[in-house]
Every structure is written in C-alpha cells, then in structure tokens.
Structure 1
Amino acid sequence: MAPESVDVIVVGSGPVGAMAANLLGQYGLRTVVIERETTAHTQSRAINADDEAQRIFQAAGLTGELGPGFHPCLKMTYVDDEMRMLAEVDFTKVERPNGHYIGALFNQPRLEAALHRGLERFSHVTMWRGHEVESFMQDDDGVSVRVKDTVANRTVTVRARYLLACDGAKSGIRRRLGLKLEGTTALEHALAISVETPSSAPDFTYYPCGPERVGIVTRTAHDEMRFDTVVKPGQDLEYVKSPEYVRSIIAPFIDPDSVKVKSVNLYAYHSRMAEKWRVGRVFLLGDAAHLMPPFLGQGLCSGLRDAANITWKLAHVLGGAADASLLDTYEVERRPHAAEMMRLSDSLGAMLASGGPFMARARNAFIKLLYHMPVTGPFIREYKMKPNLFHAEGFLFGGKRGKSKQAAEGAYFPQPRVEHGEEGERPLDDVIGHRFSVLTRPGAPAEVQQAAKAMAEDIGGVWLSVAPAARSGAGRSGEVVDLEGKLGEWFAQHGSDLVVLRPDRYVYAATNRAGVAQVHAALKQSVRPLTRWGSRGSRRAAQLGA
C-alpha cells in the first residue's frame, strides 16, 4: 500500500504544534498532527500571552467563543517580602499597539482545549492521539514518517512535503536529527503552584522581589491563581513540594484555607537553543528549538511566533506563490529574535534572583529609586523593558532592514481599529485576512494608489486605502477609515506613502512615491498569487489514524 500523502506533518499537539496546525488549516493544507499522549494534559505550565501572542490567536480565528479565555493583566506590582510596593505598571494606561492587552494570563489546559477545538473546523486537518514517530527519512521531494499507534500496536507510513517538530524540550525529532542544544541550565529550580479559587477575587499580579520570595503571583483565570517562586540552590527539593511549604508560599497573598491546590510542579529552567532549526524538510519550533527562562514570560510567546512565521511561508511555497528559498528565512528571522528574548530573560532573572539578602535589599531600594526618578520612572511605568524587536534580515525589501532609526522594514505593524464599509468597526487584521496587503497613506497621490492596487493584484494580495477619521460613515469601497489616527501617524513617522505587509503583519517594505516601482518589481519577483489553498480533505489520513 502506498503511504498516505499530506502537505505537512506536525509532531506534538501542545500550544505551538496546535497553533501551527490551526494556521495551516486556514490555508487549506492537508495536515496530520501526531500526538504521543492519548488524553489532554491537565497541568498548567505556561501562563502568559503577550499582545503579539494574542494577535496570533486572532489570526488563527480563535477569539470570542472559540478563544482560550484570556484573563487580562491590568496591573503588575513589584513588591518586597513585606509586600511594600517597589514599582508598578498600570497596563490600563499603557498604549496597546497590537490591539490586545499588553499582557494576559491563561489556564494552559483550557488554552490547549481551545486550540484543539479549533482544529475541528478543518476536514483536512487530522489529530492522531496515542501515536509516536518511530523513524523518518527525507528525500528531495518530501519526508516519509513511520508512525506507531501505541494503543493498537500497529504502524503506518505517512508521506509529507514538510515536517514541523513541535515536540517540546525533549524533542525526539531533534534527537534523531543529531542536533545539540547549546546554552546553560540554571542551578536554581522553580516551583509552580496552581490553586482553584471559589470566585474571581482577589485579582492581582505581584512580582515578589525578595530577598526570601522571588517569582510571580497572579490570577490566571476567573477560578485559578498561580504562585511561582524560585527555589534557591541548597533547598530540599522534596520539602518544597510538601503541603507545609506550599502553604507558606500561598499565605502572604491569600488565605490557604480558601483555595484548593490543583498542582505542584518543580522544574529546572534553561537558556538553550538548538544549533540549527532546520535540516532539509524538517523544522524545529517552540521548545524543540529554544528553551527560554521564565522571567519575561516569553517561552510560549516565542513558540507561537515560530508558528506564525513558518506557516504562511509553507502555505505560499506549497501553494505555488513563492520559491522554496522563502523557507530559508525562517531561522534567519526567528533565531535572533528568540536569542534576544532569552538574553533579556536571563538579565532580568540575574537581577531578581541572584545575590544574598543584603544584595536583594540593595537591589529593591534601587528599583524603588528608579521608579520615582523622572527619566527612568516612565520606562518602568510604560513597560518599555520589553523592547519592540524586529527582523534585521530575511524576507524584506533588499533582504535587510535599513540602518536608519526610521527604517520600517522588519518591524511589526500596529493593529488599530478601523472602519471598513458595511462591516463597520473592526480590528485591522480582520479586514486584511491571511494575505499580503498593500496600504496607502491618507491623501496618497492617485498614482501611488493605482500602483498599490496593481501591486496587490500581481501578488494576490489586498490593497487598502487608508482614509482619515473625518471620513467615518462615508468610506468608499477599498478604504479603511483610520478611526484613531494611528495609521496616519505611522505613515508620517516613517515618511511613507505606501507599506507592504506580509501575512504575519511584519513590514516587507515602506516607501514614498519615488520608490514604489522598485518595491513592486522586487516583490513581483518573489511572490505570486496562490494557485491553490491546499488540497482540502484527507479522509484516508483520518482512517489510518483511527
């Protein structure tokens, strides 16, 4: 019997693998998700989704009733052991350029359940639970994967064009590829305690800064709170999981008798990255590619960015809209971004968790001083410690971001709410969809608008003319009304008449009238209209995995 043939195999159905499968499903790509476990996970591990991660859920159509139930973080307070405030971020006063809360919390089992429900929308995406990869072989045309059904004790072979390894920190795919993890593992451990609460109160996010307690205490859902604390070298790793110790961690923040302990997990944290993220037709994503320390809450967020980056590229390559060389830009773009997040997380961890009691008190005094100084205070209050990172090179006009501070290429484009004809007020991404898009500034010359329309048609994208807020209620076909003025501000800041956005909302090019023809020519050489949105339906895959 010839092996089943699909477009993509995703190994692992955790948040990163399930997100990749949802995004591939939206492009119509036949996808099989191979998951070793027979039942869903019940342990909460990751808890944080930044505004970019939430925007990726939006792109996957997982909002509202289909969403994971994100719990917004409205205020974050840094405190010492006596619960005295050192610094505070009021997120209700911080600008939200991506159209979502700067930070949101979640219950991971519910988040994974939402992702898995999302897969049910697609007849061409199939989940094989209780299956594991026994072996795989690559050739010039694809990957042949031998998969074992661990329940029925039988094996099948699946043929795919590409394989995405989303199988976590102990990735079997990475091991079979012979790829090493480079970096360090911390001497400290972290203790994660999840508790069930009878109501949605209290609702706070504290960052204890020591000297005795260092970590995070936060509400993650209407009925759940999380207590994460650093376990210092030399502490008894069995004792810290005992009810007595767990109670001592919870008590400063909430009455332990009012909650039910759901889970107590002890884990080491790492700063490690695979030496390569791609071997032939196999790509590593998420923890299979990089292990992130927890201090900035960027581990899962980074994995979701991996999924958002690779899936649109696979869709365009498999759909005949781009050459296979586009896939080379995945690691080029994502590795530096993940490495910088890892460096920042390490720095924050070193600042918060290192040193003895004297150093911790001195550090806390310094944080408090910085918070009240006129220059550094706004840096903390406006949460500028998490920088706006960008792609320095990759699939960008000219291949690299310009050296000017005003360079737009490689930056993440903002998402304000806009007005779009009869659809009314909507987030910008919902108007654009999953395509390349070309936007022109308010009042752009007619020749620029005509060129933008032709450019969008040549690449199978969408052209949108941005109109000022004064046109609200009178927008024409093909216009989006800039209700908040944010798009107009962006064009003015970058001195641009036109911007080209990739499907993942990173800027491919921004130019004034003089550079439009050059951008058009470069883009037309690289991108074509999609000739197919996958081959929908994979009945045999469903039968083989049953």
Structure 2
Amino acid sequence: MPTTMTDLGFFFDWLIVDVLPPEDREWHPVNLQICDPARPTTVVSGGPGRRRWEFMRMPDETIADLNTEDTAWRLLEPWQLTPENSELERHAVYTFHARWADVRRSGRLVLAGDAAHQMPPFAGQGMCSGIRDAANLSFKLDLVLRGLATPDLLDTYGPERSGHIQHTIGLSIELGKVICVTDPAAVAGRDDFMLGHGGDPDKVLPPIPPATLTDGMLYHLPDRSLAPGSGRLAAQGRITYRGRTGLLDDVLGTGFVLASTVDARACLTDDQLTFLDGTYLPHMAEVGHLSALVRPDHYLFGVAQRTDEVGAVVDALREQLGQSAVD
C-alpha cells in the first residue's frame, strides 16, 4: 500500500490480564478506571465468567519485568485474587498507539479496522471504529461487485471514515491524558479541575466525536457545498410496514431507504422509481424534511424539503454510483 501513517506519538505500555474469578463473586461497579498515579489501572468485564485488568507500566519497570505471571498475581492481590481461587487465563503487554493510515484504498487493496487505525483504549472505540469501517465499506463493495456502482465509489470510503477516526483518536488521547498521569503536580492539577467542576462529564471530559460525515458519498448542492441534513446519522423509530411493527432497521433490513412525509412516488418519474427498485416509503416525522434518502450504513445521503427536490436527490445518488440517467 502506498501510504504513510500519521502517528501522534501518544503511547504507553500496559499489562493486560484476563482472569476467571470465583463464580459467585459480584463486582461493583462492573467497570471502573482507577486514576491512581502509583499505578493507573483499568478493571472491566471480560464477558460471562471473565474479568480483565489492565496495569500501566511505570517508568522504573521494563516490559520483561511486567509481563510475568508472578507480577500479574502480585498486582491482583488487592482484589483478593490468588492462584487458589482464580484462574489466570492470559497475560500480555500491549503498547497503545494513536495513529492512522493516510491512504485507505489502492486499487484492489483496502485497509479497515486495526490495519487502518490504532488508538488508546480509553474511549472503548477501537473495535467500534472497525465495525463502522465495515458498515461503510461493505455496502459499497456489494454495489460494486454486483455491477450497480463503479469502483470509484470505493474512493469515498477513506474520506468518510478519516474525519471520524481522527476525532475518536483525539478523544481517546484526551481521556488518556486524564488516566495516564503519574507526576504529583499534574495529578493535583487534574484532581482540582475535576473536583472544581463537580465531576460533571460534560465539563471535565472532551466532547464525543460528531456523528456526521463531511465528505464522500453525500448529496451536494450545485455549488458543491454539502446540502443541509446530509451526512448525519438517520433517526431510527418504530414503524409498521406490511403488517410488521418494529425498529426501522429490523423491519426494512439493509439497503437504501427513501423516507417521506408524503407518497414519494408522486414526486418521482418512472425512471427514478425503476432505479430505486422496490425502496420502501415509510412515513417520516422529522420537521422540515419532506423526504430523506438513507444509506445502508444509516447515514443520510440527502434530504429534500420540497417535492421538486426529491428527484434531484435520487439522481445525485445514481450519479455517484456511476449510473447515468439514461443507463
């Protein structure tokens, strides 16, 4: 792949310990982050019957010192876990990075998940970001492989995901700056700041990355500016369609959805309806939007506020898929 990696230089070594504790043990809280300057520690659920501990490597330790079974048991002692009452399933030292690939696609090669980005674990968004990659990429690959779109459509994958990834990595770093603090003066400043704001997450923690796309396979106005409403995550409510009631995604399944406050068929030509090929037309309650065209990954491709705009949104989708109005 002809790509470089942008690396923000934020990395730490942590010992990961997976344990099968006594079955009758209850954990309160279930997940917690201990911001102790003597040893920043994470304790989380590892799934049914499992717990995970993560211990940050301190400056006076080597990776070899940290990554031993004896060290793992020593660090687990404050939780009354011993070889006699628990099973140590695994231990390993991981180095967390904050970096991403600058190019995601080269011909038939495409990067996704950990191959495309790595982030500190403190926002819990590593696997989530990989799932978002797959949701974005899979429906585009499907369209290309079925001959419904040109391969150029795959070039929208990188720009659409890169902005969100960079925001997510930034959030993870800012949380890491709260957690991975060992200097006494810095710890005191952090604690004073948090206590001074009453521990309110909205005031003491960085903002969550916006759930919007800013470029890519989206509806643009004639001046190439992004049309209002395009790129946002679509709302999901309960609908009834053909006798079945449930959440929109469950009732309609995958595919493009044209949601409208009116019967959109009255706003579309026969050619445009043929292109949509069976798209469902559930009612939509979002104020000011006559129709909304939702992508398979649940982002809004575009919205129409007037009946004469509905066809333009559909044609814009067809054009971006590489299909002309006369195909």
* Range class of TM-score, shorter chain: 0.7 to 0.9
* AA aligned opposite 2:293: V
CA distance in 2, matches of 1:462, 1:348: 42
* AA aligned opposite 1:364: D
Aligned to 2:202: 379
Aligned to 1:450: 266
Structure 1: runs of 5+ lacking an equivalent: 1-176, 467-486, 530-546
Aligned residue among 252, 270, 282 for 1:465: 282
CA distance in 2, matches of 1:353, 1:438: 47
Contact conserved, 1:456 with 1:463, CA < 8 A, in 2?
no
SS in 2 for 1:198: coil
Matched, 1:193 2:17: yes
Identical counterparts, % of pairs: 27
After superposition, the Cα gap between the structure-2 partners of 1:516 and 1:230, relative to the gap in structure 1 and judged at 3 Å, is: same
Contact conserved, 1:271 with 1:342, CA < 8 A, in 2?
yes
After superposition, the Cα gap between the structure-2 partners of 1:349 and 1:453, relative to the gap in structure 1 and judged at 3 Å, is: farther
CA distance in 2, matches of 1:435, 1:306: 17
Aligned to 1:224: 50
Instruction: Give the Å deviation of 1:355.
Output: 4.6
After superposition, the Cα gap between the structure-2 partners of 1:339 and 1:414, relative to the gap in structure 1 and judged at 3 Å, is: same
* AA aligned opposite 1:462: T
Select between 454-463 and 220-229 the one with higher mean Cα deviation: 454-463
Aligned to 1:483: none
Which digits, 9 at most, give the CA deviation of each residue in 1:126-156, with x for residues without a partner?
Answer: xxxxxxxxxxxxxxxxxxxxxxxxxxxxxxx
Matched, 1:519 2:309: no
Contact conserved, 2:258 with 2:292, CA < 8 A, in 1?
yes
CA distance in 2, matches of 1:187, 1:524: 44
Aligned residue among 215, 226, 231 for 1:410: 231
Which digits, 9 at most, give the CA deviation of each residue in 1:278-318, with x for residues without a partner?
Answer: 11221111122222222212222212211211111111112
Which digits, 9 at most, give the CA deviation of each residue in 1:15-66, with x for residues without a partner?
Answer: xxxxxxxxxxxxxxxxxxxxxxxxxxxxxxxxxxxxxxxxxxxxxxxxxxxx
TM-score normalised per structure 1? 0.53
SS in 1 for 2:296: coil
Aligned to 2:143: 316
Aligned to 2:248: 428
Contact conserved, 1:200 with 1:223, CA < 8 A, in 2?
no
Aligned to 2:190: 363
CA distance in 2, matches of 1:520, 1:313: 17
Contact conserved, 2:43 with 2:54, CA < 8 A, in 1?
yes
Instruction: Give the Å deviation of 1:342.
Output: 1.3
Q: CA RMSD in A?
A: 2.9
Aligned residue among 92, 97, 101 for 1:274: 101
Q: Which has the higher strand share?
A: 1
Contact conserved, 1:458 with 1:528, CA < 8 A, in 2?
no
Matched, 1:397 2:219: yes
Higher RCO, 1 vs 2 (CA within 8 Å, ≥6 residues apart)? 1
Contact conserved, 1:438 with 1:461, CA < 8 A, in 2?
no
* AA aligned opposite 1:379: D
Contact conserved, 1:390 with 1:412, CA < 8 A, in 2?
yes
Structure 2: runs of 5+ lacking an equivalent: none
Contact conserved, 1:216 with 1:227, CA < 8 A, in 2?
yes
Aligned residue among 42, 66, 69 for 1:240: 66
Contact conserved, 1:438 with 1:452, CA < 8 A, in 2?
no
Aligned to 2:296: 503
Contact conserved, 1:194 with 1:263, CA < 8 A, in 2?
yes
CA distance in 1, matches of 2:159, 2:256: 20
After superposition, the Cα gap between the structure-2 partners of 1:250 and 1:331, relative to the gap in structure 1 and judged at 3 Å, is: same
Instruction: Give the Å deviation of 1:178.
Output: 5.0
Which digits, 9 at most, give the CA deviation of each residue in 1:232-273, with x for residues without a partner?
Answer: 333232222334432343233454453211111101111222
Contact conserved, 2:6 with 2:100, CA < 8 A, in 1?
yes
Instruction: Give the Å deviation of 1:357.
Output: 2.5
Give the number of aligned pairs. Answer: 316
Contact conserved, 1:191 with 1:266, CA < 8 A, in 2?
yes
TM-score normalised per structure 2? 0.85
After superposition, the Cα gap between the structure-2 partners of 1:398 and 1:216, relative to the gap in structure 1 and judged at 3 Å, is: same
Aligned to 2:160: 333
Contact conserved, 1:436 with 1:456, CA < 8 A, in 2?
no
Contact conserved, 2:241 with 2:282, CA < 8 A, in 1?
no
Aligned to 1:206: 32
Which digits, 9 at most, give the CA deviation of each residue in 1:401-450, with x for residues without a partner?
Answer: 748xxx421112233344444333x232122222111112xxx345x463
CA distance in 1, matches of 2:248, 2:269: 18
Matched, 1:181 2:5: yes
SS in 1 for 2:209: coil
Instruction: Give the Å deviation of 1:501.
Output: 0.6
CA distance in 2, matches of 1:510, 1:349: 38
* AA aligned opposite 1:393: D
Select between 497-506 and 251-260 the one with higher mean Cα deviation: 251-260
After superposition, the Cα gap between the structure-2 partners of 1:521 and 1:200, relative to the gap in structure 1 and judged at 3 Å, is: farther
Aligned to 1:71: none
* AA aligned opposite 1:450: A
SS in 2 for 1:221: coil
After superposition, the Cα gap between the structure-2 partners of 1:178 and 1:393, relative to the gap in structure 1 and judged at 3 Å, is: closer
CA distance in 1, matches of 2:237, 2:225: 24
Instruction: Give the Å deviation of 1:528.
Output: 8.6
Aligned to 1:252: 78
Which digits, 9 at most, give the CA deviation of each residue in 1:505-531, with x for residues without a partner?
Answer: 1110112125223213322334499xx
